[in-house]
Structure 1
Amino acid sequence: MAGDGSWQRWNTHFSTSVEVDLFGKTLRLAQDPNSQNLGTTVWDASIVLAKWLEKGARRGELARHRLRGKKAIELGAGTGLAGLALAMLSCDVVLTDTASILRLLQLNYDANLSPAACSGLDLPCLSELGKVSVQELDWTRPEQFAAASPPYDFVLAADCVYHEELVKDFFDTVVAMVTPKSTVLICNEFRSESVHNRFKELFEARFTLKRVPHAKMDAECQHPNIDIYICKWRKS
């Protein structure tokens, strides 16, 4: 998936798995081609976000040594790619989604980063692997927020802004997971003007949004329609 107009999409239900190379390890992520649930597909935005995290692993705020032992949560994790990438950077990560997605999330962790999956592999990214757990978190059910054990140092979301009616629920969930010192990383694919405007309206009222230049993304895993935002609490 390059930025030259030749966009090879991965978000198809026709395959049962997608392979993504991260930190020297090939992650094999299961999909469910028989499901109509959006969370059972590896979406392009999750690949863009994961590869950007890989690129920044050596320096800056998201360098591995700065993330060691930090607490993170991925909202709407789906197949879990972005959250698994953060765990490979030493974060302790909770992968969350609705109840019907949890089996797939657990399967992808077990197949890729569980102790059994990593046994015998000599890779630097596995020497300080963060803890990973899977938990239900439905944005439309605020009574579940406390059970997610906030606050978190990092909140991660890939392709979670796609329906105007859900943007407010997503925003409320993010706010419930953070403190003024938290960092929120959101990767969106532009889908409609109304959805994008609603996202900006809500988040800019509470956070500062810094859009990551595409020059800082992975050269092969980016597209003009996919943006990464680093969101920080507005001090005012």
Structure 2
Amino acid sequence: MALVPYDDASVMGLQKFHKPVTTFSFASHTIQIRQDWRQLGVAAVVWDAAIVLSTYLEMGGVELKGCSAVELGAGTGLVGIVAALLGAHVTITDRKVALEFLKSNVEANLPPHIQPRAVVKELTWGQNLGSFSPGEFDLILGADIIYLEETFTDLLHTLGYLCGDRAVILLACRIRYERDNNFLAMLERQFTVIEVHYDPGKDVRIYKAQRRNEREDL
């Protein structure tokens, strides 16, 4: 689930989360994302990190056509929807409680000929990985998923399990607390991590992670 704090901004800033529908334009498509703060809270609103990551994908930050991608903690599904529109085969995941809502957004925003490229699937980090193949994906996407410290170990295990030898991980986040930096330090023990994009207006950074090769570990 997209895990982010409630005290993200002033009351005025939070009003956008109470809109039932928010509209975006990506990949030459108008995307209308339904939000449901009252029922599902943080999992059912569009956070800035998802917008920035979607923009980065549209800018051509990675090759998407034909790639096998997975979005973790998808929430409303914006990032996965954009990836599918740009040519990826995407598995869009979240916890069971959010799946029906997530699926409704995916189906409403993908044309019929693109829908077969997007699958909505349950994934609780560190728990039901047996329904996925090890190293199954070329690209792993996550927007604002590194907030709760108690999830860090399971998230790292999930990233390691799903990530193929040449896979790319893209994590978009706002660094709010020291624990966010602590997660990045944990990530760097297993992967080579670099910052590839920063949006100063939204104060969101995108980090790219890849498996270390043998020479880096010498």
- Separation of aligned partners in 1, 2:122 and 2:138: 19
AA partner of residue 85 (structure 1) = V
Counterpart of 1:208 (choices 172, 175, 192) is: 192
SS in 2 for 1:149: coil
Q: 1:14 to 1:175 in 2, by over 3 A?
A: same
What is the TM-score with the length of structure 2 in the denominator? Answer: 0.85
- Structure 2 residues without counterparts, runs of 5 or longer: 1-11
What is the deviation of 1:18?
A: 1.1
Counterpart of 1:108 (choices 105, 109, 120) is: 105
What is the deviation of 1:71?
A: 0.7
Counterpart of 2:57 (choices 53, 58, 68) is: 53
Instruction: Give yes or no for the alignment of 1:38 onto 2:38.
Output: no
Identify the residue that residue 154 of structure 1 maps to in structure 2.
139
SS in 1 for 2:142: strand
What is the TM-score with the length of structure 1 in the denominator? Answer: 0.79
- Structure 1 residues without counterparts, runs of 5 or longer: 1-7, 119-125
Counterpart of 2:205 (choices 227, 230, 233) is: 227
What is the deviation of 1:13?
A: 3.3
Deviations 1:118-170 (A, max 9, x none): 7xxxxxxx6xx8700100000142xx112033420011000001111112211
Q: Is the 8 A contact 1:10 1:44 kept in 2?
A: no
- Separation of aligned partners in 1, 2:182 and 2:39: 28
- Separation of aligned partners in 1, 2:96 and 2:148: 20
Identify the residue that residue 76 of structure 2 maps to in structure 1.
79
Q: Which runs of 4+ in 1 moved over 3 A?
A: 8-13
Deviations 1:14-63 (A, max 9, x none): 1111111102211001111312432111111000000111112xxx6x24
Count of aligned residue pairs for this structure pair = 202
AA partner of residue 194 (structure 2) = K
- Separation of aligned partners in 1, 2:75 and 2:15: 12
Counterpart of 1:168 (choices 153, 169, 174) is: 153
- Separation of aligned partners in 1, 2:14 and 2:89: 27
Q: Identify the structure with the greater strand proportion.
A: 2
- Separation of aligned partners in 1, 2:13 and 2:210: 30
AA partner of residue 111 (structure 1) = A
Q: Is the 8 A contact 1:69 1:130 kept in 2?
A: no
Q: Is the 8 A contact 1:72 1:93 kept in 2?
A: yes
Greater length-normalized contact order (CA 8 Å, ≥ 6 residues apart):
1
Q: 1:163 to 1:234 in 2, by over 3 A?
A: same
What is the deviation of 1:11?
A: 7.9
